[in-house]
Chains A and B, each alone.
Chain A
Amino acid sequence: MMSKQADLLKLTVTEHKLANGLEVCLMPKPNFHQTFAMFATKYGSIDNEFVIDGKRRRVPDGIAHFLEHKMFEDEHVDVFAQFAAHGASVNAFTTFDETAYYFSCTSDVKDNLNILLDFVQRIYLTDENVEKEKGIIAQEIRMGDDNPDRRAFMELLAAMYQEHPVRIDIAGSVESIYEITKSDLLDCYSTFYHPSNMVLVVVGGFDAKEMLEWIEQNQSQKTFGKAPVIERVYPSEPEKPGSPRHEVRLNVTQPRCLIGWKEPHGTSNGRDLLHQEMLTGVLLDVLFGKTSSIYTELLDAGLIDKGFSWEYELTEHYGYTVVGGNSPDPYALADRIARYVSHIRNRGIDADAFERARKKAIGRFIMSLDQNAYLAKTYLTYRLRGASFLDTVDALTSLSLADANRRLDEHLREESRVVSLILSNQATG
């Protein structure tokens, strides 16, 4: 057991590894009514090829997300109803590299915890219940098809990545989900849902000692067999993007423009990963935040609106920066940003702006600790990537201006840049 009293953060965290391999992180907050628990597996949409029974197996796209839906199936009582009986709200999500199930409650904490652990650790599939899910997920995919921001983002990744499955929509396509069978789902479940591949994070108004006892009690009643060695198969991905530009025409009033930079590779060391994320985040805030010169220029030129933003993502296998938003003239915006970045690369970023952005990141991190759901989710995602979210202040404090300029030079290169445009197909004039 590892315990860390993060005094500065007014937060106590304990981490435990159970006999079956499950990692448990507890963050009790005395006097809170709410308990928020999240149970996740390191398994997402990119894990579409793996070794099972000594053989390589390629499964249909969107299956991790499909499985997430199917975990809510129960032979006797609907899972939503089980939680509702104890006053909890429950939900789940699937990302590229993670599937997470969570509840929020203000009473019956032990009951809700047991329901969470039990429904995720037991699967009930029939050919009928697999079939009936297809219509529901098809509507979820259609909803995404009508969302221009989501389309712009997925097209950006599809332009950036030539082979890696991060280029494929998390939910798959209407065609791919109709190929999914009960046996595909069972193979994925048995490969990725062993406790040794999972993390449980609980935040809120509970007693840590009692909570750990409840979890251990629940887990000791189950047998899972030996922890499998998971062999994921990813295609080899070239360092350079596949295509400099993707364009899609949709029925939108506002065209979208996203500009992305591809990392040549991911980072498997957790400390390095956190450091690189914080460093790149501070750099991007200096370059593209609301206090940057370019933000005002673009606003004055009518090329962006106030939703213009940036984000950075880094994992073991891939990483990217995304900048952009709505623009009436997406070609001009992409061009203007390319010239701006090339100009800044020559002279470096401003020391005051760097210091301000670093302080801002510290302040925003501190405030985020008050959001239990955000805290649990972020802590867990970093944990699955081998990093510790609570080291954020240390990581931010250790950054230097020279680091930021080095990062600018190595990351925002012209040859790793791609552009995704959503153009309006509405008749003009």
Chain B
Amino acid sequence: MESFQTLSAGRCHVHILPHAGFRTKEVSIRLHVRMDRQHVTPYALLPHMWMNGTDKLPSTRSLTTACDNLYGASVRTSLGKRGGYHILELSASIPDVSFVAEDSLVERALDLLCDVLFDHTEGHGCFDDALVRRELDLHRRRIEAARDEKMSFALQRCFSIACEGTPAALPRLGFVEDLPKLNASQLFGAYEELLQNAEAHAYIVGPFDDLHSVGAALLQRLTEKMIGGSAVPIEREVLPRPESRSVREVTEYDDIHQSQLDLAYITGIGYADPEYPALLMMNGVFGGFAHSKLFIHVRERHSLAYTVWSHVDQVTGMLAVMTGISPEKREQALTIIEQQLNDLRDGKIADEELKYTYRSLRNQHTVLLDQPAALANWHHQGIMCGRQRDINELLTDLERVTRDDITKVAQAIAMSTLYFLTRKDEA
């Protein structure tokens, strides 16, 4: 696996990777910061606000026009969350249009990207009162709209309930009730705090001619504004396996055609742990793929669902099962899901299941090597999980996982939360 070269100063890091054969140059800057109740909502607003304008280009329209003028270089911001960390991301995809365009677009796009992050003063641009009020209203609607996506809403609810009491349970977008209390100056204060406290990881990947100097220039711009401090190790957030095997059942109601059944299991294993490859294999045999036990039994054999998957949260080590079913099939679906897990606990895993799962995971990971943006994500995932894993080394580890290893993982995990989103009985 080709590896990133890293330039660091204080809390700022620039990771560069040349990658030929592409027409897109990718740059992304990711700021991560620990979530807490006080900052979660203002921090969630910032990436949306940044795109509303800079001091030089004080409106969404002038800012977007500047991007479109760069042959549609896409400059954007987004808000992510991993465990109890917020990740505020700014990125630019720059097309290689050297056959039609007069000069390189890279410098101008990078200037624009840095301005979106730094070119703000109190009361101006995106911190203008009217623009802030507009964004607060949009954010309220953004939080409310999450409820309209039933499947992801249900999974999110299940996750929050299972992590209750930890920063990981805080919602990515923050809280509606915080919005009326926020104004432009408080948000500017939050912005300054973010720049004082966040750690920055920037990625530059793709067909650049002078990658090193582009990287050094970006690092300098980051450190000019993010002065002082040093990188802080990521806190471990893997949920410990519970002492008692009690399941928390929560049913919520909505006027929906299909019910959502979501189950959270605590594994006690995170991305950095030695058992992680065994957990990935176990999840693959259980419900990660279309050859997995859940898909075959819940969907193909019993026709209960169209969607049925399991997946692992690398930070908390939670294994979640999600499925959409008819409301009256709840017990049947639950029994079949638990039966599959019990089969894993009893070591009922065919040679084919092991082989298919390993080969599917190998494919899933090898594909990443083709995609510069995916490699950046992979590296950043290592940062956020406290361990860099080389893709090829992980594949070697996965190949070594035995039936016994998987059985041990399955035996150790316990259901912690059962979440059911359904419609109220007509009766």
Which of B99, B357, B370 sits near A33, CB closer than 8 Å? B370
Chain B residues near A143 (CB, 8 Å)?
A: 151, 257-258, 306-307, 324
Chain B residues near A145: list those with CB within 8 A: 257-258
**Does B359 sit within 8 A of A, measured CB to CB?**
yes
A143 to B325, CA, bound (A): 9
Query: A89-B364, A366-B95 are contacts. A302–B359 as well, Cβ < 8 Å?
Result: no
**A104 contacts B97, CB within 8 Å?**
no
**In the complex, per-residue mask of A122-165: 1 if CB is within 8 Å of any chain B CB, else 0:** 00000000001111110110110111100000000000000000
Residue B223 is within 8 A (CB to CB) of chain A in the complex: no
A253 beta carbon closer than 8 Å to chain B: yes
Interface size classification for chain B: 35 or more
Q: Does A19 contact B (CB under 8 A)?
A: no
CB distance from A365 to the nearest CB of B (A): 8
Question: Given the interface contacts A132-B303, A136-B306, does A253 sit within 8 Å of B257 by beta carbon?
Answer: no
Closest to A251 in B: B255
With an 8 A cutoff between CB atoms, is B56 at the interface? no
What total of chain A residues lie within 8 Å of the partner, measured CB to CB? 71
- Mask, A173-210, CB within 8 Å of B = 1, is 00000000000000000000000000000000100000
| Cβ-closest chain B residue relative to A87 | B359
B401 to chain A minimum Cβ distance, whole angstroms, is 16
- Identify B367's interface contact among A33, A295, A359, A363, CB under 8 A: A33
Q: Mark B337-362, 1 if CB is under 8 A from A, else 0.
A: 00000000000000010011101101
Contact indicator per residue, chain A 236-271, by CB within 8 Å of chain B (1) or not (0): 000000000000001111100000000000000000
Residues of B contacting A250 with CB < 8 Å? Answer: 255
A84 touching B289 in the complex, CB below 8 Å, given contacts A10-B23, A370-B23: yes
**Neighbouring B residues of A393 by C-beta, 8 Å:** 100
- On whether the beta carbons of B23 and A146 are closer than 8 Å, the reply is no
C-alpha gap A302/B134 in the complex (Å): 7
Q: Is the CB of B364 within 8 A of A30?
A: no
Contacts of A300 in B (CB 8 A): 130, 134
Q: Tell me if A425 counts as interface (CB < 8 A to partner B).
A: yes
Taking CB atoms, residues of chain A closer than 8 Å to B416 are none
- CB distance B95 to A139 under 8 Å? no
Q: Which of A8, A29, A145, A360 has the most CB atoms of chain B within a 10 A radius of its CB?
A: A360
Q: CB-defined interface of A52-92 with B at 8 Å, one 1/0 digit per residue?
A: 00000000000000000000000000101100111111100
Beta-carbon contact of A360 and B68 below 8 Å? yes
Q: How far is the CB of B337 from chain A (nearest CB, A)?
A: 15
- The answer to whether A290 and B61 touch across the interface, beta carbons within 8 angstroms, is yes
Per-position binary interface string of chain A over residues 294-335, scored 1 when its CB falls under 8 Å from any chain B CB and 0 otherwise: 011001101001100000000000000000001010000000
Binding site for B on A (CB under 8 A): 8-10, 29-34, 78, 80-81, 84-90, 104-107, 132-137, 139-140, 142-143, 145-148, 205, 250-254, 289-291, 293, 295-296, 299-300, 302, 305-306, 326, 328, 356-357, 359-364, 366-367, 369-370, 372, 393, 425
> Would you list 5 pairs from A and B whose C-beta atoms are within 8 A, ordered by A residue?
A33-B369, A139-B324, A147-B150, A299-B60, A366-B96
Interface residues of B (CB under 8 A from A): 20-24, 48, 59-61, 64-65, 68-74, 93, 95-97, 99-100, 130, 134, 137-138, 141-142, 144-145, 147-151, 254-258, 289-291, 295-296, 299-300, 303-307, 324-326, 352, 355-357, 359-360, 362-364, 366-367, 369-370
Further contacts, 15 of them, CB under 8 A, given A85-B356, A306-B138, A362-B97: A80-B290, A87-B362, A89-B363, A139-B304, A143-B151, A251-B254, A299-B138, A302-B134, A328-B141, A363-B71, A366-B23, A366-B95, A366-B96, A367-B93, A367-B95
Closest 8 CB pairs of A and B: A135-B303, A360-B72, A363-B72, A363-B71, A87-B359, A84-B356, A251-B255, A106-B366
